[in-house]
Amino acid sequence: MAKQTVRDIEVENKRVLVRVDFNVPRDKSTGEITDDARIIAAVPTIQYLVDERAKVILCSHLGRPKGEVRDDMRLALVGERLGKIMGKPVRCTRDCIGTEVEAAVGEMQPGSIILLENLRFHPEEEKNDPAFAESLARLADVYVNDAFGTAHRAHASTVGVTKYLPAVSGFLMEKELEFLGNTLADPERPFAMIVGGAKVADKINLLENILEKVNVLIIGGGMANTFLKSMGYDVGSSKVEDDQLSFGRSLVTKAARKGVRLMLPVDGVAASEFSENAECKTVPLGGVPSGWQLLDIGPESIKAFSDALKDCKTIVWNGPMGVFEYASFAQGTEALASLIAELEATTIIGGGDTAAAVKRMGLASKMTHVSTGGGASLEFLEGKTLPGVAALLDKETS
């Protein structure tokens, strides 16, 4: 069911607690922000609240401090970057709950912004502790969740606070639910799903759910090795999940029975070792030299996959085709990304490594939608209910 958004509630002169996802990548040596895309993605909701003269209280986590205060994971630099982007001051607090924070909120004027300190400095956040959630809720009159990337976690700031405050979605959350939800519910066909990544075990639920919806299912990445071995091909020393071989065979059988075109690599780039500078060569199926491993799809696979995708009207992609972090094994991922970016189709990139690859190539703006949630988008595509979404108020239907 559709969720209420920030447009559906009165926010003028109200204290609005906004859960954002400011878990941005940073340089390991300097701590400087290396990619502010997540900050920029939250700006439309924040700007709307500022324009409506709300008192905007932002909360987020950063990194994995594991319930301890870590100076290298403070949000001050994020607040500084947000202030520059928005052209207005953002006050940062030294904690996210407590009397000092309550006093700072009490001093807020309509249209002002406060960024609370890292939520995960408190172990109670990830435990969805009711007392911690109530302390957060005490700061506000209304709650807005604009952090799709954490919507699959039942934490105090995603679920707990909704027990105490009216809860609606922000514009980024609305966009994610609209693209992912509408695509799965009623895609324009032919509908293709590209699934990659390292492990079959991580994608079982996704594969089983999506098989009921797609016309074309393309499987690449390290997980393809398990499927290929399940069909009797020698994949050398490639990483294989032997406990998933029977699943691989059954999925191939189910796809055939349902009339889904399931495609696997027909060749690959094999390497002498798992290394950026390893000796490598293109090999056909079954032609992996002893002791070598497949680290990318090959040119014939790229051609076959591309030919299958050219006529598709909806394409969802989750997981790279190879070890794209290494230039020698990035051709498969980059070739498909370049193709998809030029198609007249609805193209959705499911967050995580795939989103990182597309952004690195400068193609994000050419995709219909690039999800901000890796784990959240995966669970959504699996057909799971996300706790942070379920906790929001439903739109009223006439």
For residue 225, give the DSSP letter. H
Does 250 lie in the same domain as 278?
A: yes
3-class DSSP state of 34 = coil
Distance CA 348, CA 364 (A): 10
- 72 belongs to a structural domain: yes
Residues present in the chain in total? 398
Distance CA 117, CA 102 (A): 13
Does 198 lie in the same domain as 164?
A: no
Catalytic residue among 3, 26, 38, 213: 38
Q: What is the CATH number of the domain that holds 203?
A: 3.40.50.1260
- 374 belongs to a structural domain: yes
Distance CA 261, CA 246 (A): 19
pLDDT on residue 1: 62
Catalytic residue among 111, 287, 375, 383: 375
The total domain count for the chain is 2
Does 137 lie in the same domain as 30?
A: yes
What pLDDT digit, counting tens, does each position of 6-19 carry?
999 999 999 999 99
38 is catalytic: yes
User: Using an 8 Å Cβ cutoff, are 182 and 44 in contact?
Assistant: no
Catalytic residue among 127, 138, 199, 384: 199
Distance CA 372, CA 41 (A): 8
Q: What is the per-residue DSSP string for 243-295?
A: GGHHHHHHHHHHHHHHT-EEE--SEEEEESSSSTT--EEEEETT-PPTT-EEE
Does 155 lie in the same domain as 304?
A: no
375 is catalytic: yes
3-class DSSP state of 315 = strand
352 is catalytic: yes
pLDDT on residue 183: 80
Query: By residue range, what is the domain housing residue 65?
Result: 6-171
203 is catalytic: no
Q: What is the CA radius of gyration of the chain?
A: 23
Domain boundary (139, 171, 203) is at 171
Phi first, then psi, for residue 181 (nearest 5°) are: -65, -50
Q: Which of 316, 102, 284 is nearest to 193 (CA)?
A: 316
**Sign of the CA dihedral with 10 first, then 14, 17, and 20 last:** positive
Does 35 lie in the same domain as 152?
A: yes
- 391 belongs to a structural domain: no
Does 199 lie in the same domain as 166?
A: no
Phi first, then psi, for residue 393 (nearest 5°) are: -65, 140
Does 285 lie in the same domain as 140?
A: no
Does 215 lie in the same domain as 349?
A: yes
pLDDT on residue 350: 87
Distance CA 248, CA 252 (A): 6
Residue ranges of alpha helices (H) inside the chain are 37-51, 76-86, 99-106, 123-126, 130-137, 171-185, 204-210, 223-230, 245-258, 299-309, 331-342, 352-360, 374-381, 387-390
User: Using an 8 Å Cβ cutoff, are 124 and 99 in contact?
Assistant: no
Does 217 lie in the same domain as 358?
A: yes
Distances (CA, A) of 207 to 14, 186, 346, 369, 373: 44, 18, 20, 21, 18
Does 193 lie in the same domain as 167?
A: no
- 113 belongs to a structural domain: yes
Distance CA 369, CA 47 (A): 21
What is the chain's pLDDT, residue by residue, as a tens digit (398 residues)?
Answer: 689 999 999 999 999 999 999 999 999 888 899 989 899 999 999 999 999 999 999 999 999 999 999 999 999 999 999 999 999 999 999 999 999 999 999 999 999 999 999 999 999 999 999 999 999 999 999 999 999 999 999 999 999 999 999 999 999 999 999 988 888 888 999 999 999 999 999 999 999 999 999 999 999 999 999 999 999 999 999 999 999 999 999 999 999 999 999 999 999 999 999 999 999 999 999 899 999 999 999 999 999 999 999 999 999 999 999 999 999 999 999 999 999 999 999 999 987 889 989 999 999 999 999 998 888 888 988 888 999 999 999 998 65
For residue 230, give the DSSP letter. H
Neighbours of 340 (CB within 10 A): 25
pLDDT on residue 28: 86
Q: Which of 54, 21, 79 is nearest to 141 (CA)?
A: 54
- 182 belongs to a structural domain: no
Distance CA 257, CA 253 (A): 6
User: Using an 8 Å Cβ cutoff, are 241 and 234 in contact?
Assistant: no
Catalytic residue among 352, 373, 374, 388: 352
3-class DSSP state of 163 = helix
Does 196 lie in the same domain as 80?
A: no
- 398 belongs to a structural domain: no
For the beta sheet containing 293-297, the strands, ordered from the edge strand earlier in sequence to the opposite edge, are: 280-284, 267-271, 293-297
User: Using an 8 Å Cβ cutoff, are 346 and 309 in contact?
Assistant: no
- 390 belongs to a structural domain: no
Does 358 lie in the same domain as 237?
A: yes
Query: pTM here?
Result: 0.90
Count Cβ atoms within 10 A of the Cβ of residue 212 and give its class: 0-12 exposed, 13-18 middle, 19 or more buried.
exposed
Pull the structure tokens for residue 78: 């994020």
- 127 belongs to a structural domain: yes
Read off the amino acid at residue 10.
E
